Amino acid sequence: MKVLSPLVSITLAQSTLCVAQGYTNESEVPYYGRSPAVYPTPVGNGSTSAAWKDAYQRAKALVAQMTIEEKSNLTRGHDGQCVGNSGAIPRLSIPQLCFADAPDGVRGQEFVSAFPAGIHVAATWDRSLMYRYGNALGQEYYGKGINVALGPVAGPLGRVARGGRNWEGLGADPYLAGGGLGAITKGIQDAGVIATAKHWLLNEEEWRRNPGDMGESLSSNVDDRTLHELYAFPFMDSLREGVGSVMCSYQRANHSYGCQNSKLLNGVLKTELGFEGFVVSDWEAQHAGVATANAGLDIVMPDGGFWGQYLTGAVNNGSVSTKRLDDMATRILAAWYYAGQEKNYPSPVVYSESEKHDPLDVQADHAELIREIGSAGTVLVKNVNQTLPFSNSTRFLSVYGYDATVSATPWANPSRYGGGYEVNFGWNILNGTLVTGGGSGGSTPPYVVSPFQALQERISRNRGTLRWDFYSDNPTPAYVNSDACLVFINAYASEAFDRTSLTDEFSDNLVQNVAANCTNTVIVIHSTGIRTVDAWINHPNVTAVIFAGLPGQESGHSLVDILYGDISPSGRLPFTVAKNESDYGHLLNSTVSFDAFPEVNFTEGLYIDYRAYDRDGIEPRFEFGFGLSYTTFEYSDLQITSTGNSTSTFVDSSIPIVQGGHPELWDVLFDVTCSITNTGDVSAPEVAQLYIEIPNAPARQLRGFERVPLEPGETKQVSFSVTRRDLSIWDVVAQQWRLQAANYTAFVGASSRNLHLNGMLEIV
């Protein structure tokens, strides 16, 4: 296979960019702003594993029996009962494949669960919960007969603080996002459902993501090293876990649309990372026919697009090769076989709200897991004089704020994104508690346990008293006998637009007005991501603050478990909360442009979120990885041990690439261990975090995390496995991951800025 060189000439502007990012060589930005051509599409062969090999053999045998028209039919969307439906070939017993949203629950259906959003799952910092989450999701998709789940999400990564879809993803760090993406992928596919890692790639803002009357979509312009080390990095974990589908994104990347970007699809995804499955377009993200086929797109959604009979014609006239069409069909069927869906897979059971039907309940006992993850992802960021947890003697509470209860009208019109309805919990001020974000990623709760409902349950058991005012921003002064005043606010975001602020005046006024009259004011924020709090965080009467995320249907129970100390908070922030919105600099807003060919230049390179704060010496309000507990912990006994695996500069090129990249990238080079002791008197998990200082890179980068439950006085050893990939940088000249001969400082602690232990990893 011939792959054209990605190296092109460097312009003066690109040279300036290199200097601005601290790069020492102009060639570190070899194609910034201009995506190089990489053709032809690699032909999948199933070399990754025995399971993929078997799937490919069976798929190829089936494709060999098809006509050109049948192959073309397989690669395009069709009308049907699902959000997306592939073509069927009845004579070969190939059914339509059913594609459905969302990454946090089957959308628009009844008797399905509303799981916490991706950003909330990331806040647990717990791979076990991430896997169980994915597996429970997969079980519900399987139960509904849905072949392809459109999730999980690591794009957007969270480059832009006000990005509208950040909440669907798994935090603003590629290692944390990768850990979640891999675990959720494995969980979904262990249930027999094809997972779809999305959105590939550089889908970091909603403004002008699609072409329209103003012109083309925005172009995300990024250098090669940043593309690999930040944005492609988390997808590698999903690929390694065998993900069967990857969704290409809407916007242009280095001036080439995501679903016809041969560098991203043919070059990075299918060559460097050995992807064996199929690439599906985001809905209506195909903007050309022949170009998308030759660039590596395998199936177009939602219906037809530029393919169908046009693809057949392109193959017949030689514009698209028969080999490419065969590969498209083979990849789709190989993923189907790989997931085992040819064996008595349930038929799709997907309804519209207007149809009379017998309901199918797939919820099982998932509410218990949702409640557990809801609590585990709840982040306590302020707790003066141990205001929390409440005791059972805390029997008189005053409750304020629109987010405390469910909306009176939670259901919107049928979603324009296809199929079912969107839930608008908290979509604007006074519209109720927020349990999910908006757009195609939103879930459809079977019910919502609001914070107020859960508080009523607890207070009634304690024979206490509640007083409330949900809608005023200047409520009646607090009842003098109240033990505490709880204020509930939220911050909404959605697909199709980016946020305009990280705060809002109504909510800030509400907090300040309650705190002015109540000496024990506890603030609870349900949010789709970053929410700044400096308008009131230092008010002497604000005694506790909780970032309660997007916890799903069991929201109130998860929160009250924390408030009353049934569970100690262990959630940690998956992003940085600044003191001022201006502290995010040019990474605050989406790039609003009315040009016919809008640009967004990723001039910050590797320096997003905490990496930028560390570089620039900016003190955040709450740093990445931060969160409080009801107990205290002590770290000790750091040990760093070399495994003896090869530390050559580059991997062995004679070893074939498999899905997820070169196998040696996943070799463990060092084991880092330490001991953690619960020095308090409350049972609680601690989230230990490993950061490594990699030469010629950001000062500290997350490279390990572990959530460790500990009884009072108990000590446990925590171990982090550090791989070659974890220590490597992307060499844009060699077009390989490069391990540097140097000393790497390892830090272990409780956040990106609360680091208790350090030691040295030496590579010679």
For residue 403, the 8-state DSSP code is: G
Give the per-residue SS3 of 283-322.
CCCCCCCHHHHHHCCCEECCCCCCCCHHHHHHHHCCCCCH
Q: In this structure, are residues 162 and 208 in contact, taking their beta carbons and an 8 Å threshold? A: no
Supply the pLDDT for residue 153: 98
pLDDT at 760 over 70: yes
CA–CA gap between residue 47 and residue 53 (Å, rounded):
6
Supply the pLDDT for residue 24: 43
Active site residue 282: yes
Q: Mean pLDDT throughout 538-542? A: 98
Supply the pLDDT for residue 298: 98
**Checking DSSP bridges between strand 396-400 and strand 465-469, what pairing results, if any?**
parallel
Percent of residues in the chain assigned helix, strand, coil, to nearest 5: 25, 20, 50
> What are the tens digits of pLDDT across the range 593-628?
999 999 999 999 999 999 999 999 999 999 999 999
> What are the tens digits of pLDDT across the range 569-587?
999 999 999 999 999 999 9
Supply the pLDDT for residue 21: 42
**How far lies 227's CA from each of 220, 754, 755, in Å?**
10, 29, 28
Catalytic residue among 173, 223, 224, 282: 282
Supply the pLDDT for residue 425: 38
Alpha-carbon dihedral 572, 576, 577, 578, rounded to 10 degrees: 150
**How far lies 363's CA from each of 129, 131, 133, 136, 195, in Å?**
17, 17, 13, 9, 19
CA–CA gap between residue 209 and residue 212 (Å, rounded):
9
Place of tokens 């605050």: 588
Supply the pLDDT for residue 30: 66
> What are the tens digits of pLDDT across the range 631-663?
999 999 999 999 999 999 999 999 999 999 999
- Give the torsion sign (CA, 139, 140, 146, 151): negative
Supply the pLDDT for residue 28: 52
Structure tokens at 129: 């919960």
Percent share of the chain, pLDDT over 70: 93
Query: 523 has which bridge partners?
Result: 487, 545
pLDDT at 110 over 90: yes
Alpha-carbon dihedral 76, 79, 83, 87, rounded to 10 degrees: -40
Place of tokens 């669907």: 168
Give all strands (DSSP E) within 332-415, no chain letters.
379-383, 396-400, 411-414
* Phi, psi angles (nearest 5°) of residue 218: -65, 155
CA–CA gap between residue 271 and residue 438 (Å, rounded):
35
Supply the pLDDT for residue 428: 43
Please compute, for residue 755, the number of CA atoms within 13 A of its CA located in the half-sphere on the CB side. Answer: 18
Q: Mean pLDDT throughout 71-91? A: 96
Supply the pLDDT for residue 409: 63
pLDDT at 120 over 90: yes
Q: In this structure, are residues 140 and 100 in contact, taking their beta carbons and an 8 Å threshold? A: no
CA–CA gap between residue 532 and residue 735 (Å, rounded):
40
pLDDT at 23 over 80: no
Supply the pLDDT for residue 12: 32
Place of tokens 């992307």: 730
pLDDT at 482 over 70: yes
In the structure, what pLDDT confidence band is assigned to residue 18 with cuts at 50, 70 and 90? very low
CA–CA gap between residue 420 and residue 346 (Å, rounded):
20
Percent share of the chain, pLDDT over 90: 89
What is the CATH number that goes with domain 1-84+209-214+230-339?
3.20.20.300
pLDDT at 196 over 60: yes
Burial 489-518 (b: 16+ CB within 10 A, else e): bbbbbbbebbbeebbbeebbebbbbbbebb
Find, among 236, 248, 334, 331, the residue nearest to 291 by Cα: 248
When mean pLDDT is compared across 30-39, 214-223, 544-553, the lowest value belongs to 30-39
What is the CATH number that goes with domain 631-763?
2.60.40.10
Counting beta carbons within 10 angstroms of the beta carbon of residue 543, is it exposed (0 to 12), middle (13 to 18) or buried (19 or more)?
Answer: buried
pLDDT at 11 over 80: no
Residue 600 parent element (H or E): strand 599-601
> What are the tens digits of pLDDT across the range 662-714?
999 999 999 999 999 999 999 999 999 999 999 999 999 999 999 999 999 99
pLDDT at 390 over 80: yes
Structure tokens at 586: 């040019």
CA–CA gap between residue 243 and residue 190 (Å, rounded):
11
SS3 state at 738: strand
Torsion-angle region of residue 565: left (phi > 0), alpha (psi -120 to 50) or beta? left
Q: Mean pLDDT throughout 306-328? A: 97
> What are the tens digits of pLDDT across the range 36-72?
999 999 999 999 999 999 999 999 999 999 999 999 9
In the structure, what pLDDT confidence band is assigned to residue 29 with cuts at 50, 70 and 90? low
Q: Give Cβ neighbours of residue 185 (< 8 Å, ≥ 6 apart).
A: 134, 152, 195, 197, 237, 238, 241, 242, 243
SS3 state at 460: helix
Supply the pLDDT for residue 407: 82
Structure tokens at 56: 């490919």
CA–CA gap between residue 663 and residue 723 (Å, rounded):
11
What is the CATH number that goes with domain 365-572?
3.40.50.1700
Instruction: Locate the domains of the chain by residue range.
Output: 1-84+209-214+230-339, 365-572, 631-763
**How far lies 192's CA from each of 15, 27, 443, 469, in Å?**
49, 44, 21, 47
Residue 524 parent element (H or E): strand 521-527
- Give the torsion sign (CA, 641, 644, 649, 655): negative
